[in-house]
Structure 1
Amino acid sequence: MAKKIALLFAGQGAQVVGMGCDLAEQFPAAADLFRRADEILGRKLSEIAWNGPIEELTKTSNCQPALYVHGLACLAALREVAGEFPIEGAAGLSLGEITAHAAAGTFDFATGLKLVQRRGELMDEACAATYGAMAAMIGADESTVRLLAADEDVDVANINGPGQIVISGELAKVEAAIGVAKEYGIRRATLLNVAGAYHSRLMESAYVKLGETLAEIPMQTPRFAVISNVTGEEVTTPDEIRRTLQDQVTATVRWLDCMERLLERGCELFIELGSAGVLAGLLKRTRKDVDVVSASNAESVRNCAERIRATN
């Protein structure tokens, strides 16, 4: 019996110089997406993705569109090798949720690319206007981290898996939270190397302006289930999709809930697109028995296609 397939799309932090280069060399469909992206944006995004430097690629306004194109290029290359295959559902980490919607036909490639570009610009502006930071809280449950966050006046940004929670807020307050984390029974607290306080109240200016952008975007009902980071549930109507994509900028990313929802739908084969094992690792910590493969370059795309053929 064929396994139900779920797609997972990477978020910021998965970028590496060279991403997508061998895909474009070996798969015409992937090359076409990078070519179209350069034309749509009016600049050589492909050059930044393929040649760096990493400092330029890591800028939010470059990183987010590059990851979007790379994720969809991985899917296009996979379809070249494996042919069309049924998809039960998808989720994407933070900006990856927009990639998931593009894959599901909620909006077309160009619309999604412009949205991601705008989102990156707005988040860059919010970062520049604030002194924000994020920190990983390892080895504590959600209720404990929420108590710490409330006491130190910061926000819970990501619930990535059991004992893997991220806080976000003003730099001084995040540093204070790190300083007292052990008093709450949190095993380890580590400041993250990010440009600002993503998924927190410090992104409020981006939230407002992104809402204006989303209001102008025509959307369709997704062809397969897309799970929202904000609610951990499937979103289906255009209004619901607009609202959750806007809310996501300041809200907690409930990644663990997203994975549990896909498992509840009977998904048995998870395909991570656009990052080399980051999301697979998070999922494996949640469910050690789950079948998950990553496709981020030409070799891994071919390996993934073999897995699809073997299970379907």
Structure 2
Amino acid sequence: MAGSALLFPGQGSHVADMDATWRDTPLFDRGLELLGYDPFADLGMGTRVQQPAIFLVCACAWDAHDGGQEVAAAGHSLGEYAALHAAGALTFDDALLLVDERAAAMQDAAAAQPGGMVAMLGGDSHAIAELARSLGLTVANDNAPGQVVLSGALEMVDTAVELARSDAGARAMKLDVAGAFHSPLMEPAAERLRAALAATPIAEPAFPVWSNGSAAPFADIRRELSENLLRPVRWRETLLALRAHGVERFVELGPGEVLTGMVKRTLGVEGTADRRAVV
């Protein structure tokens, strides 16, 4: 399986003026037409606009990418939609509309049941897991060695911040997100997404796309996309699995270079961020 794996980032990867490279391109214009609004007008509005904006940048980066050696793809949370689009499983139109519905559903679920997320940097992984269990929090992201994210009720997230150093030897950083993503609190959003996915045609991918929830190629795209709102992002395991399957090169397409850094931390090798995708 020697070749390249495409990596697409998720929410939190947005950077200032990330749309500048792609404005006035046909695909970008098509995206704004489909959405009926400009998500880049105020990215400070959070999840509701950040998700479609990031997907649109990722899709434009893929459209401009000079590839040909791709043997696999993976996306970090939201990035799964761009990965499935790149593999031909979702059309651009369908993927963007799904992302728009996903963003709205997640924002609404977060407003109905406030929650939060906290990154635990360093520390003992077993102690972090035990702290999460004791507080009723979910391990939402296993991003890289020494970088785990917990998700759940806002009060318990605040308690985790207070106890991180003493109970787990970790440095805690509360994340600026709308809710408890990748936790059971997102069930209302998952239900809405199931309905949207049921009405969306999905084709066989041209190459395997790794699922966050299983750290393996998607077996049931509709089911896994909805369930992945509730399950951890197993990113570290995904990178290890891609390497075990013979992937030799990782190419990040989208705003920023966060995933490229995770490749280096997890595998000890350099990834490549397509500079045309980074503004």
TM-score over 0.5 (shorter chain)? yes
Please say if 1:37 is aligned against 2:20. Answer: no
CA distance in 2, matches of 1:218, 1:286: 35
Q: Which amino acid aligns with 1:13?
A: G
Letter in 2 for 1:182: R
Deviation at 1:260, TM superposition (A): 0.9
1:72 counterpart letter in structure 2: A
Which of 188, 199, 218 is residue 182 of structure 2 equivalent to?
199
1:172 aligns with 2:166: no
Q: Which residue of 270, 274, 277 corresponds with 1:295?
A: 274
Decide whether the 8 Å contact of 1:158 with 1:165 is kept in 2. Answer: yes
Q: Tell me which of 98, 101, 108 is aligned to 1:115.
A: 98
Q: Which amino acid aligns with 1:42?
A: G
Residue 252, structure 1, aligned to residue 232, structure 2: yes
Distance apart, 1:184 and its partner CA = 2.9
Q: For 1:251 and 1:122, locate their aligned partners in 2 and report how far apart those are by CA, in whole Å.
A: 16
Aligned length in residues: 279
Is this contact kept in 1: 2:47–2:177, CA < 8 A? no
Q: Which residue number in structure 1 is paired with residue 204 of structure 2?
A: 221
TM-superposed CA distance for 1:219, in Å, is 0.9
Residue 244 of structure 2 aligns with which residue? 264
Percent identity, aligned pairs only?
A: 38
For residue 89 of structure 2, the aligned residue among 81, 101, 106 is 106
Q: Secondary structure at the match of 1:196?
A: coil
Report the TM-score, using the length of structure 1 for normalisation. 0.84
Retained in 2: the 8 A contact 1:133–1:170? yes
- Residues 177-197 of structure 1, C-alpha deviations (whole Å, 9 max, x = no match): 222223333321121111111
SS in 2 for 1:297: helix
| Conserved 8 A contact 2:213-2:232 | yes
Pair 1:134–1:20, CA change in 2 (3 A): same
Match of 2:64 in 1: 77
Distance 2:102 2:36 in 1: 17
Structure 2 SS opposite 1:135: strand
Alignment partners' CA distance in 1, 2:226 and 2:127: 27
Is the 8 Å Cα contact of residues 141 and 162 (structure 1) preserved in structure 2? Answer: no
Q: Which runs of 5 or more residues in structure 2 are unaligned? A: none
Matches of 1:296 and 1:250 in 2, distance apart? 33
- Say whether residues 1:16 and 2:15 are aligned partners: yes
- Taking the aligned partners of 1:185 and 1:124, their CA distance within structure 2 comes to 31
1:292 and 1:24 map into 2 onto residues whose CA distance is: 27
Q: What residue is the counterpart of 1:306 in the other structure?
A: none
- Helix, strand or coil for the counterpart of 1:107? coil
Correspondence for 2:165 among 172, 176, 182: 182
Alignment of 1:140 onto 2:139:
no
Name the SS of the counterpart of 2:182 in structure 1. Answer: coil
Query: Does structure 2 retain, via aligned residues, the 8 Å contact 1:276–1:296?
Result: no
Query: Normalising to structure 2: TM-score of the pair?
Result: 0.94
Question: RMSD of the TM alignment (CA)?
Answer: 1.9
Q: Which amino acid aligns with 2:28?
A: F
What is the identity, as a one-letter code, of the residue corresponding to 1:15? Answer: H
More helix by share: 1
